[in-house]
Amino acid sequence: MTEDFPLLPLVSDRCKNRNPVYFWQDVPIVENEHKDPIQLVGGLPNYKFFPVTGANVQLREEPFKDGNDDLLFQIKDVSTRDDEVDIKNSFQYSDQNGQIELRNQIKEFVKRVVKPVSNDWDIVCTLGGLDGIMKCFDIFINPGDTVLIEEFTFTPVLNNLVEFGGIPIPIKLNNLIKDHKIDYVDELENMLNNWESIHPNLSKPKMLYTIPNGHNPLGLAQSLDHKKRIYQLAELHNLIILEDEPYSYLNFTKYDETPNYNLTNDEFINSLNPSFTTMDTTGRVIRVETFSKIYAPGLRLGYMVINKALINLFTKSGELLTRAPSGFSQIFVNNTIIKLGGIEGWIQWITKVRNEYLKRKNHFINSLMKTKAYKEGYLTPIDPNCGMFVSIIINIEKSNEFNGINYNQLMDKFYINSAQIGVLAVLGRNMSVKSEFSTERSNFIRTAISFVDDVSILDLAAQRLSDATCKLFE
């Protein structure tokens, strides 16, 4: 790592002091070494010990449609193509950061779609989004370090942060309930400028963890202006921006617009919300991606866009905590991309996934808006910008029972109603960093539109949610 890289002083003591032993290293210097020595070092089985010699894989044409013979590809035991992953390599012990062929594909994708502005970025594969986040905490968090997090968030990250002794600090989302917006620059600026007086016993934050597009649970995207101002604050206060982006490619138009389901790749890319990496000249943005939403969660495969100076830290963290991602997962993803015609074909597949989610989203929002509970003003869906979730505000302040503080009791009542009527969603408060901090903004639920077999079930869900809500206002 170069000495002047600004994230260097932020590396955790644990990772700085990590000094792994490697039994195949620590050998004397050899002059005039043999050019082609017989390798008896590593306990690697010859690939002809592996029970599989090949596979033919059938791809879909698009989500919810079967494939055809044009969409068959072969997984080979030995490939001569330099972009193809073969059984010989992927079934073997392999590169901690992912097979080189897959990393090359991902890099091409990132260059084409994400467009980081720096010249010093690279990618490392992970075992999925949360794995990437865990490794970031491993690398940067000392016990007692603080991390800024949107007050509602993907709470499993909190478990990983706390494990390393980190302290999550919620950022208030002021305009959430009223304007359905994520807009916290002023809030953040105030927190950072007055840190010592607001949190006299806590160290200044090292990191902002954010889900900028298709925020989980809210589905919202930050505006470009919001991001630019956040990045300026990060520069000023030497914050790492951990950009978690599982949903950014599932980007939506508004519910009342006519969608274009035939986007060209250029149109699709231009429609995406810009990443923090497009403004990051310093290397402080770490982008976390996953194949879970656009390929399959069972892969346990994702990647991170990071500054090259950090690669070695991620390698060591991975060697210790997880070892390499499954080669079986990597061979499927890499060779699927090839079969689809490379990155351009892969972008087309992603667009098809996005189309299906967009259809579901618009259908569900429209369904909700036809319900009694919506018409009476008892519930308000937040039309999401991206993702697979629709959050729905329950306007409990209109209930006769609302007394200004009983958010939790009324949301409990709502939950019981909905579970009895037959629809289960996540309570907003359960996705808060600190439920007591967020009580007055937690009168919402998160619904996932991803799992049901058909949109008709979303109609039924909307009806049941309406019934459960109306019962609260009886």
Q: Which is nearer to a copy of itself, 309 or 457 (CB)?
A: 457
Which span (109-117, 127-135, 257-265, 270-278) binds a copy of itself, by CB under 8 A?
127-135
Both tokens of 459, joined, read 């109609």
What's the CA gap between 442 and 438, in Å, rounded?
A: 6
Q: Which of 216, 251, 385, 443 binds a copy of itself (CB under 8 A)?
A: 216
196 binds a copy of itself (CB under 8 A): no
- CB of residue 454 to a copy of itself, shortest distance in Å: 9
366 binds a copy of itself (CB under 8 A): no
13 binds a copy of itself (CB under 8 A): no
Residues 6+ positions from 336 with CB-CB distance below 8 Å: 57, 59, 73, 295, 346
CA dihedral 314→319→322→324, nearest 10 degrees, is 90
Q: Which is nearer to a copy of itself, 118 or 322 (CB)?
A: 322
What's the CA gap between 207 and 286, in Å, rounded?
A: 10
Site for a copy of itself in 286-305 (CB under 8 A): 292-293, 295-301
78 binds a copy of itself (CB under 8 A): no
What's the CA gap between 219 and 251, in Å, rounded?
A: 10
Q: Which of 158, 185, 263, 310 binds a copy of itself (CB under 8 A)?
A: 158
Instruction: Answer for the pair 288, 133: CB distance below 8 angstroms, yes or no.
Output: yes
Site for a copy of itself in 433-462 (CB under 8 A): 447-453, 457, 460-461
150: β partners = 171
369 binds a copy of itself (CB under 8 A): no
200 binds a copy of itself (CB under 8 A): no
What's the CA gap between 350 and 344, in Å, rounded?
A: 10
Q: Which of 1, 8, 83, 92 binds a copy of itself (CB under 8 A)?
A: 92
- CB of residue 421 to a copy of itself, shortest distance in Å: 6
401 binds a copy of itself (CB under 8 A): no
Q: Which of 12, 90, 213, 334 binds a copy of itself (CB under 8 A)?
A: 90
Site for a copy of itself in 300-339 (CB under 8 A): 300-301, 319-329, 332, 336
163 binds a copy of itself (CB under 8 A): yes
Q: Which is nearer to a copy of itself, 51 or 200 (CB)?
A: 51
58 binds a copy of itself (CB under 8 A): yes
Which span (196-204, 276-284, 307-315, 408-416) binds a copy of itself, by CB under 8 A?
408-416
Which span (36-44, 111-119, 184-192, 205-213) binds a copy of itself, by CB under 8 A?
36-44
Both tokens of 169, joined, read 């600090």
Q: Which of 3, 4, 9, 24 binds a copy of itself (CB under 8 A)?
A: 24
- CB of residue 358 to a copy of itself, shortest distance in Å: 13
B/e letters for 317-354, b = 16+ CB within 10 Å, e = fewer, are bbeeebebbbbebbbbbbbbbbbbeebeebbbbbbbbb
160 binds a copy of itself (CB under 8 A): yes
Both tokens of 384, joined, read 């999401």
Amino acid at 78: V
What's the CA gap between 48 and 96, in Å, rounded?
A: 22
Pairing assessment for the beta strands 207-210 and 240-244 based on DSSP bridges: parallel
Site for a copy of itself in 411-430 (CB under 8 A): 412, 415-416, 419-427, 430
Instruction: Answer for the pair 160, 180: CB distance below 8 angstroms, yes or no.
Output: no
Q: Where are the beta strands (DSSP E) in 334-412?
A: 379-382, 389-394
372 binds a copy of itself (CB under 8 A): no
- CB of residue 431 to a copy of itself, shortest distance in Å: 5
B/e letters for 135-156, b = 16+ CB within 10 Å, e = fewer, are bbbbbbbbeebbbbbbbbbbbe
178 binds a copy of itself (CB under 8 A): no
Amino acid at 347: I
